[in-house]
């Protein structure tokens, strides 16, 4: 079979186009972020926010319960002097949070003199409103300032994540969380994180009543946090 000039060039063109298509890199569409379920207490949403729901905290005025942001779980008590954890729960029903600061001037804590260098600063903003580490932020270096409950005689401040509600007899009745209290942590390795303690009631109650203040419903930590990339102050989660 003889090929005329036009047929010959048509065949060359077909092979040339096929070769070009073969050499072109495949276009891979980026995957849509998905929620990750870590375990029955922990999920990571599409924005990278770690949500902890109903994590049971041992109730004690003497024991410090250690938590690691990276591991997303409790750390053994015998690692108190290490940098393997970032903050701890303390006091009845885990109502207080302290950072892992080994240089604290509080010699009574088990992490005194340890390797942790976590410090905290406090804001009166909601979690999503905190988009960066504010300029001029003062991180507490004493280790004595934590995240507390407000009592009935204190003026409200940004170190308080919830308040005691008192009954008509003046007795503490139950605890209601504030809506706009977020702490910023500077971690031992220099990264920044933001954290919101939402509730210590089972089910994450945000508007509990007196009837909810019973042992079966208390001591279940509900909180969320976001850790920025190393070297970044960007805490955007909107």
**20 part of a folded domain:** no
Is residue 27 in a domain?
Answer: no
Residue 182 lies in a domain: yes
Cβ-proximal residues to 132 (8 Å cutoff; 6+ apart), any chain:
233, 234, 235, 236
Distance between CA 121 and CA 141 in Å, rounded? 10
Residue 14 lies in a domain: no
Question: Would the pLDDT of 231 be above 60?
Answer: yes
> How far is 158 from 228, CA to CA, in rounded Å?
22
pLDDT single digits (tens) 98-107: 999 999 999 9
Question: Which of helix, strand or coil describes residue 88?
Answer: strand
pLDDT tens-digit map of 146-168: 999 999 899 999 999 999 999 88
114 φψ region: left (φ > 0), alpha (ψ -120 to 50), beta (else): beta
Confirm whether 43 is domain-assigned.
Answer: yes
Which pLDDT tens digit goes with each residue over 19-31? 555 555 666 666 7
Domain region containing 204: 35-227
Helices (H) and strands (E) in the chain, counts: 1, 14
| Closest alpha carbon to 137 in 83, 192, 97, 82 | 192
Task: Assess if residue 89 is contained within a domain.
Answer: yes
The pairing of strands 60-68 and 87-91 is antiparallel
Residue 117 lies inside a defined structural domain of this protein: yes
Q: What pLDDT score does 213 carry?
A: 94
On whether the CB atoms of residues 178 and 163 are closer than 8 A, the answer is: yes
- pLDDT exceeds cutoff 90 at 18: no
**How many distinct structural domains can be found in the chain?**
1
Structure pTM?
0.85
Domain for residue 13, yes or no?
no
The per-residue pLDDT for range 26-53, each reduced to its tens digit, is: 666 667 778 999 999 999 999 999 999 9
For residues 125-141, b (16+ Cβ closer than 10 Å) or e, as one string? bebbebeebeeeeebbe
């Amino acid at each position: 079979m003889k090929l005329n000039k036009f047929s010959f060039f048509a065949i060359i063109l077909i092979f040339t186009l096929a070769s070009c298509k073969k050499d072109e890199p495949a276009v891979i569409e980026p995957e849509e972020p998905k929620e990750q379920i870590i375990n029955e207490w922990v999920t990571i949403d599409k924005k990278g926010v770690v949500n902890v729901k109903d994590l049971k905290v041992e109730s004690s005025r003497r024991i410090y319960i250690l938590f690691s942001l990276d591991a997303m779980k409790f750390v053994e008590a015998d690692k108190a002097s290490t940098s393997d954890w970032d903050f701890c729960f303390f006091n009845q029903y885990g109502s207080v949070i302290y950072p892992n600061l080994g240089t604290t001037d509080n010699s009574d804590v088990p992490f005194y003199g340890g390797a942790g260098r976590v410090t905290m600063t406090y804001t009166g903003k909601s979690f999503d409103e905190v988009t960066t580490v504010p300029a001029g932020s003062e991180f507490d270096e004493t280790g004595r300032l934590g995240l507390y409950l407000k009592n009935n005689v204190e003026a409200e401040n940004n170190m308080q994540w919830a308040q005691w509600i008192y009954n008509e007899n003046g007795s503490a009745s139950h605890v209601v969380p504030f809506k706009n209290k977020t702490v910023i942590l500077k971690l031992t390795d220099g990264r920044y994180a933001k954290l919101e303690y939402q509730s210590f009631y089972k089910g994450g109650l945000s508007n509990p009543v007196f009837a909810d203040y019973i042992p079966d419903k208390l001591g279940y930590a509900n909180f969320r946090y976001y850790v920025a990339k190393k070297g970044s102050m960007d805490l955007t989660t909107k």
